[in-house]
Amino acid sequence: MDEPWSSLAGLQHGVLARSQLYALGVTRAAVRANVSAGRWCWRTESVLTTTTGPLNWEQRLWLGVLHCGPGSAVGGLTAAKVHGLRNWDRDLVTVVVDDSLSFEKVPELHIVRTRRPIQKWLAPVTLPLLRLEPAVLLFGAYDRSKRTAQGALAAVVQQGLTTPDRLGACLATMNPLRRSRDFRATLLDLAGGAQSVAEMDVRRACRSYGVVPPHRQRARVDRAGKRRWTDCEWDLPDGRVVVLEVDGAFHLDVMQYSADMRRQRRITTPTRLIVRCAAVEIRDEPGKVMADLIALGVPLVKRAG
């Protein structure tokens, strides 16, 4: 017959708090005996595992919330990863905790203290886990980089994990929240079809310099028969099309750059002109990019009267 703690260990991927074991009737002597025999392993002063090897991903999550105790939850980009966010991994597990909790610091954990109602934002799962929307909004509010915060919002929408409307509804319940005004503008851009921070920068630059907003993520079939999507396109009155491709940091990779050049050649036609800019240009020097586009014939917004 299984021990009383074994079912709980199964639910928590073999991670147990000292207090949970004592509540189930496991004595201090029994804990010491299992640790001494090499069957169990202390991971913090209050949490142990029924395995002794390196912790897997799920065990790291449980370690965080059990170490911090009731009133804590997995949050930030860690929670977003649990909800399915790709390519935004961080080394540390983020745990959001009630500001009144007291515990020892653990190097593997990023602890975020808050007076906000964590329990109202929990996802309906066994692991104490923030829902995606409050997790990402809280991350964005307190990350050092506003652009990283905007990028995280764009990523969860682009990857189909949530919608601008759901993020906006959650944001409305979280006020006051740092960067709320910026987030509302970001969500308006995302609702308009922007898929990345660079695309949002293009959209804002167009508004600032009076340029007609582009068609975004338009599908094209290249000469090899592959379907491609362009970043931004403008249809000119003379039948030509100007395409702007915005290059992020990953384009600095030699193999990626080579693939991008090949892609550009294959979707270029006598009536389709493709120009490129770096993401840092459209962010820091949007006027220069807009001036070049205007010189190529990209139209300006017609003013009333």
Average pLDDT, the chain: 89
pLDDT of residue 264: 79
Q: Which of 81, 119, 78 is nearest to 97 (CA)?
A: 119
Predicted confidence (pLDDT) per residue in 55-90, tens digit: 999 999 999 999 999 889 999 999 999 999 999 999
pLDDT of residue 283: 82
pLDDT of residue 252: 46
Predicted confidence (pLDDT) per residue in 277-297, tens digit: 887 788 889 999 999 999 999
Predicted confidence (pLDDT) per residue in 252-286, tens digit: 455 566 777 777 788 888 899 999 988 778 888 99
- Averaging pLDDT over each range in 72-86, 107-121, 232-246, which range is the top one? 72-86
pLDDT of residue 195: 67
